[in-house]
Amino acid sequence: MKLGMTAALALAGALMCPPALTAQQPATPRQPDGPLTEDPRYNKSQNSQKPPANSAAPRSDDESSSNQTRIDLSPPKGESPASPGDDVREMHEWNPMRAIKDIEVGDFYYKRENYKAALSRYREALEFKPHDAVATFKLAQTLEMSKQLDEARARYEEYLAILKDGPSAPEATKALQRLKTH
C-alpha cells in the first residue's frame, strides 16, 4: 500500500512540474511586461533601458541645499569681539546655541535651589550671548534668591533696558520696587 501511495505522489509531482528537457532549451529573450504599445519607446526590453540622467547640475563641496534654511549665528552689528588691547583675559565666541543650553542647565539648578550653580550657568550664558534678555532676567532672579540684592537690582534694570515691554517686564518692575525698599 505504501508503495502505491509513493508512486501516485511521484506521478502527480511529475505532472505538475515542467519536464527536465525544457531546462536544456535555449532561453528566449524576455518579453516586456504588459501589452505592446504603438510607441516604440515603451516596447524596449528592461535590459536596454538606462537610468535617467540627473537633470540637476552637480554641486560643489561648499554648496548645500540647506543653505536656504541656514540660521545666522553671527554676532549682532555693533557688537564686535574684544580687541587684543582690551583687559579681557578670556574671550568666548558668539554662540547663542551654547547660551540656550547654559540657560536650560541653569533652570535645572534653580528648580533644585542650587543657586550657586544656577548663577554660574546664567553668567556663562551671558558670556556666549551678551545682552540676552532671558539669561539676564533669570540671573537677576537667582541673585535675589541668593541675597545679592545690589547686583540683582542692576540685572533687573539691565533686563528692562534690553526689553522694556518684554514678557517678564512687569515682574522685573515689581522686583525693582521690592528691592528699592531693602
Residue 97: all three cell numbers together:
546655541
DSSP code for 75 = P
Tell me which long-range contacts 67-73 makes (C-beta under 8 A, separation of at least 24).
73/97
Q: What predicted TM-score, i.e. pTM, was given to this entire model?
A: 0.54
Tell me the average confidence (pLDDT) per consecutive run of 10 residues in the chain, 182 residues long. Answer: 62 58 53 61 58 60 64 67 52 88 98 97 96 97 97 97 95 95 72
Name residue 137's amino acid. Answer: F
> What confidence score (pLDDT) does residue 21 get?
47
Contacts of 128 (CB under 8 A, 6+ apart): 92, 93, 94, 95, 96, 98, 99, 102
Residue 51 makes CB contacts below 8 A (sequence gap 6+) with none
pLDDT at residue 65, rounded to an integer: 62
Domain ranges, ordered by start, for the chain = 96-180
57-61, long-range: CB within 8 Å, 24+ apart, which pairs? none
Name residue, grid cell 542692576: 154
How high is the pLDDT of residue 28?
56
Q: What CATH code would you report for 96-180?
A: 1.25.40.10
Give dist(CA 67, CA 64) in Å, integer.
6
Q: Tell me 147's DSSP state.
A: T
